[in-house]
Each structure stands twice: as C-alpha cells, then as structure tokens.
Amino acid sequence: MTDYEAVIGLETHIQLNTHSKIFCGCKVDSWGDPPNTNICPVCTGLPGVLPVLNQAVVEKAMRLAAAMHVDRIQPTSYFARKNYFYPDLPKGYQISQYDEPLAVGGSLDVPLDEGESRTVTITKLHIEEDAGKTVRADGRRLIDFNRCGVPLVEMVTGPDLRTADEAAEYLIRLRQLLRWLEISEGDMEKGQLRCDANISIRARGETVLNPKTEIKNVNSIENLRNAIQAEIDRQIREVEAGRRIETWTLDWDEDSETLRKMRAKETEADYRYFREPDLLPIVITDEWEREVIAALPELPLARRSRFVEEYNLPLYDAEILTEERSLADYFERAVALYSGDPKHISNWLMNDVLRIIRSEGILASDLHIKPEHLATLVQMVQDQTITNNTAKELLDRVQGSGEDPAEIVERENLAQVSDESELRDLATRILDANPEQVTTYREGKTTVIGWFVGQVMQATQGKANPRVVKEVLETLLAEE
C-alpha cells in the first residue's frame, strides 16, 4: 500500500485585546453580553459613516509580527474591501488587507517529541475587522452584530505541517505566544482564536501539492486535531478508491465528530478585492518599529532554554514554568531571593503553588503568596526551621491572608522541634505505652517504625523533625 503524508496549512484569526474595536469606540470584549448591545453606526455599516483606525490595533499586530520573526514589517500597507454577502456582514464587505499587508514572511518554531522541532513559515500577517455572528434557534437564524468590527490579526502558514498532532502543537505554541505578548487571551471557546485548516495528502517523498480541502468551525485545539485526522483518513480512503479529491469547504460537527460539505471552496477572485477608499494607508516609521521591537519580552522558547542552562533545571520543569509569562517571572523573582538550589523553588511552584493557581483560576501575578513569601517558606524548610507539612499548611494560609510566613511561624510557635533530648523523652513515653508494637518491631517487623514516627508527629502537632524522630526511635528500640 502507498505510504501517504499529509500537507497541512493553517489560517488563524486572532482577536486582539484592545479596549475598543478597530474602527469605532465600541468595546471589544462582549462575551456574555446581550446580543446587539455593543454596536454603533460605524460597526453596523450604516450609510454615511466613516471608519477611524485604532492605533493600538496596529501596535499589537506589530508586536506579534516582530515575535514571529517576519521578514519585514511593511513601511506602508493598505486596507482593502473583501466583498461577500452574508447575513452577519452588514456592510456587504469586510475591511481587511490583501496584497499589501502589514507584514510578510516569518516563522514559528514548534517543539515536537524527542527534541525535534518543526519550523512553520508564515506567508503573511494582516489586520482586519471581524464579522457578526449567526445563531440558529427554533428553526430560525438570528444575527448578533456585537462582534462586528472586533480587531483581528490573520496569519497564514505555509504548507509545513505534516500531522494532526503537529497542527495542534502549533496552535498551543501560538496561543502561548499571544498570552505571553499580552495581545490576546487566545480562548478558542470564546472565539478569541479561530483556526481554519487546509489539508491535502500525497505519497511520502513527493513534493507536489495536491488539491486541498478547508475545515472551518473548529472551536478547540482537541477538535482541530480530531477534525484534521478525520479528513486525512477520508482523503486516503478516497484516493485508494480511485476517486479525486474535490476542493470543498468542510464543516466540523463537534457533537457527532464528523465532517460535512458546506460549499465549494472560494477563490480570491470570488471576493473581488479592491483598495478601501475610506481609510488612509498605514505608515510604519523606522522609529516606531524600533520602539515596538525594543519593548518585546524574552520569548517563551528562549526563556525555556535559558532556564535549563542558567538554573540547571530539567527540560520538563522549564517547560511548565514558561507556560505562562507571569509564572516565569514569579519563578525568577523567587530564585533571586533564595540562597539554595533553584530546583527547590521549581518543585514548590509546580507541585503546590500551581495547585492554588489552577484551583482559583488566577495568574501567578494575582497570588497573595508573593515570590518573597515562597522564598522564605522554602528557605525555612531547607534550614529545618519548619517541617514540610507545616510549610504546605502555611502556603494556603498565606494565600488567604497575604501575611509574611516567618511572622506566622514566630507568633504561633510553629518552628520544628529538633531537640534530641526533648524528642527522646516523648518517644520513650510512646514506646512505654505501646509494648505490643515494640515487641512486633523487635521480632523483625521493622516497618512498625513508621507508626511510631506518626505517633510522635501527632503528639507534636507535626512540628517534630521526622528525620531526628526516626533516629531517636531506632536508638531506643535497639536498646534492651
């Protein structure tokens, strides 16, 4: 049988998190608002109105372009009218960019398994307005114009991806980058990141690009993965049966996990592009471009590599700590205040602090446990001032109050008990009170030591040093 490979390109639409829309003053974030409440004559295309470009849209798009290592941000770019008729497009056209976009070229490196990576090229990056939303209810189609005029960046990749998993990983890395740059939340379920996939297949080793299909209406990364894999499998079945692949636009049904034909795929000629007469060109000066590039933070993959090299962290730790920018910042501030191995801070962040972050649905920057609090807690554990269990309890208390953990330890006398004479007296009393367990231990069932340690820890309300307790007990139990 022929060994096939997929050829996949993605078109992503990214909602920018500006306060107002691209050409008017209506607010952008309308998720959950009643239909048609965030609209005005401009974004609903009433006669006689004129659009005015939002500068913040251009700046955020430039920031993304710089992070995607584009070949160039165009000194001058133009808007165009993309003409098509659909109920949720009130003007009858969409203001977009066509042959003279904001930026061209660029790439994003996508890490894969076993240290491999895939470089995904970007053919162009442009800004445009969103259309409205059509909702089907009770056999009718209802129109909500709230999204009309929401600012978008569209990026088109080259045909560089080869599997459904690679396409999903690309979206994961793109979403990470959008949040890192603070230009979009990238929530697919809220329509802040949308993706159409173009798919074809060919015999492995060939370089020809065969007819492709396009998948639309996918609202999660997992659904994208499933839809692409389903289409790859379908195309292989069609080719094996001797049938041609038709250039369809396909709709993904999330409930049944099936694809269905929507229409024949449009071509650029269908949209009858021409330059937008109501908007001036976008002019990017060298100074403006330099300012945007200078303000870029260290990017996530670069920071991941630095965490491995500078802090000697395992790649797994560095991956988790750079999932989100404020968590990476938190880690570095805590490490700077801690005198021990950075791995100690990493362990507490990944195992305990992340538990709080995820349970409360917040960012690391919103924590009441400040980096200095975590550094203090970990330092007290390493110095054996407090036990590990005490530190875990303090973590939740500090998150609730924001109080300095060292002050709580001092005020409530939570310091670890390590005095051998004090622990020896307590352990002796416990051994005397439990002669049967002592006999069991001395007859060879040494695992009973764990029960004795637990009794001492309970008697000291968890403040005893478990290592010292175990040593004291072993000494006492060895005596006849």
pLDDT for the residue numbered 332: 97
pLDDT for the residue numbered 266: 63
Phi, psi torsion values for 82, nearest 5 degrees: -105, 110
51-60, 61-70, 469-478: the lowest-pLDDT one: 469-478
Phi-psi region of 349 (alpha: psi -120 to 50; beta: other; left: phi over 0): alpha
SS (H, E, C) the chain: CCCEEEEEEEEEEEECCCCECCCCCCECCCCCCCCCCCCCCCCCCCCCCCCCCCHHHHHHHHHHHHHCCCCEECCEECCEEEECCCCCCCCCEEEECCCCCCEECCEEEEECHHHCEEEEEEEEEEEEECCCEEEEECCEEEEECCCCCCEEEEEEECCCECCHHHHHHHHHHHHHHHHHCCCCCCCHHHCCEEEEEEEEEEECCCCCCCCCEEEECCCCHHHHHHHHHHHHHHHHHHHHCCCCCCCEEEEEECCCCEEEEEEECCCHHHHCCEECCCCCCEECCHHHHHHHHHCCCCCHHHHHHHHHHHHCCCHHHHHHHCCCHHHHHHHHHHHHCCCCCHHHHHHHHHHHHHHHHHHHCCCHHHCCCCHHHHHHHHHHHHCCCCCHHHHHHHHHHHHHHCCCHHHHHHHCCCCCECCHHHHHHHHHHHHHCCHHHHHHHHCCCHHHHHHHHHHHHHHCCCCECHHHHHHHHHHHHHCC
Checking if the pLDDT of 174 tops 80, the result is: yes
Checking if the pLDDT of 460 tops 80, the result is: no
Checking if the pLDDT of 1 tops 70, the result is: no
Name the pTM for this structure: 0.85
pLDDT digits (tens, 9 = 90+) for 374-416: 999 999 989 888 888 889 989 999 999 999 999 998 888 777 6
Beta carbons of 462 and 390 less than 8 angstroms apart: yes
What Å distances lie between residue 132 and 88, 135, 175, 178, CA to CA? Answer: 5, 10, 23, 23
Residue 97 CB neighbours (<10 A):
23
pLDDT for the residue numbered 318: 97
pLDDT for the residue numbered 348: 96
Confidence of residue 250 (pLDDT cuts 50, 70, 90): very high
Phi, psi torsion values for 244, nearest 5 degrees: -85, 150
Structural domains in the chain, CATH included, are 4-292 (no CATH), 298-411 (no CATH), 420-478 (1.10.10.410)
Beta carbons of 169 and 113 less than 8 angstroms apart: no
pLDDT digits (tens, 9 = 90+) for 251-286: 888 888 888 888 776 667 788 999 999 999 999 999
Measure the N-to-C terminal CA separation of the chain; round to a whole number of Å: 78
Q: How many percent of the chain have pLDDT more than 90?
A: 69
pLDDT for the residue numbered 417: 63
Helix axes 449-459, 435-442, angle to 10 degrees: 140
pLDDT for the residue numbered 108: 95
Confidence of residue 9 (pLDDT cuts 50, 70, 90): very high
Single-letter code of the amino acid located at 472: V
Q: Which residue has the higher pLDDT, 255 or 226?
A: 226
Tell me the Cα Rg of the chain.
30
* Strand arrangement, sheet containing 93-96: 93-96, 80-83, 274-275
pLDDT digits (tens, 9 = 90+) for 146-172: 999 999 999 999 999 999 999 999 999
